[in-house]
Amino acid sequence: MYLITLRQVLMMKKGDRVLRQILYATYERGEPFMSQKALARVCEVSLGMVNLVVAKLERLGTIEKKPLGFRVIDPKKILLYWASKRELTKDVIYEASSPLLAPEIEAQMPSGAIFTGYSGYRLKFGATPVDYDEVYVYADLQEVKRRFQVRKIYKKNLFVLSSDPHLERMSEGGTASLTQIYVDLWQLGRTANRFVDELDCKLELGQIGALEAMIQRVQKRI
């Protein structure tokens, strides 16, 4: 039973890579057309895994199949699908408590840390819609344990998440990709609602900007 559960978890995480790449390409690169073979190569997963994800997205009416791949036609629905199916709590590999404020905790993270959630939002945009007191980060577990410990007199306010090579490649400037930050915030529930609402607007504007950039690239080739 344990082996089956472990296999299912690993498959879900590989499926997350595919969804992450599709949304990154669409929202942040302005490239809504892609092939299954390219996705399998970039995400380092099997073609069969990619086909499973693509088949699900086709049933949801979010993509349009083409002879050499597919085109994303409803990225917001894909984003919400990923946000609803993601299980953030299962990715938490360490929890710690500290009397420090969130920005002070962030400043003490080891080199190579990738921030998501509230911290990722702040680092991406320089400000947040409301204050926050919890830090979510993909980071070196042993280094974090050395710097932060569980102290029962303080509320748990630092959460380390398990990472993967694809997530690390998609990160920039010490933060996860915008859509990764979105789905992680979405999973935090009511306390993150303002962040999610603000990010909804930013992603919509970003998609428009990415689309304009794509059109300009195509025009230059003509």
pLDDT tens figures, 147-195: 998 777 788 999 999 999 999 999 999 999 999 999 999 999 999 999 9
- The fraction of the chain above a pLDDT of 90, given in percent, is 78
Q: Is the pLDDT of residue 221 over 60?
A: no
Instruction: List pLDDT tens digits, range 10-43.
Output: 566 899 999 999 999 999 888 999 999 999 999 9
Tokens 């980060």 appear where? 137
Mean pLDDT of the region 198-215: 69
User: What is residue 152's predicted lDDT score, i.e. its pLDDT?
Assistant: 77
What confidence tier does 209 reach under pLDDT thresholds 50, 70, 90? low
User: What is residue 1's predicted lDDT score, i.e. its pLDDT?
Assistant: 35
Q: Is the pLDDT of residue 2 over 50?
A: no
User: What is residue 8's predicted lDDT score, i.e. its pLDDT?
Assistant: 45
Report yes or no: 195 and 127 within 8 Å, Cβ to Cβ: no
| CB atoms closer than 10 angstroms to residue 19 | 23
Report the candidate in 97, 129, 132, 104 with the shortest Cα–Cα distance to residue 118: 132
Domains of the chain: 2-85 (1.10.10.10), 88-200 (no CATH)
Instruction: List pLDDT tens digits, range 95-144.
Output: 999 999 999 999 999 999 999 999 999 999 999 999 999 999 999 999 99
Task: Give residue 57's identity as a one-letter amino acid code.
Answer: L
Q: Is the pLDDT of residue 212 over 70?
A: no
Q: What is the DSSP string of 62-98?
A: -EEEETTEEEES-HHHHHHHHHHH--GGGGEEEEEE-
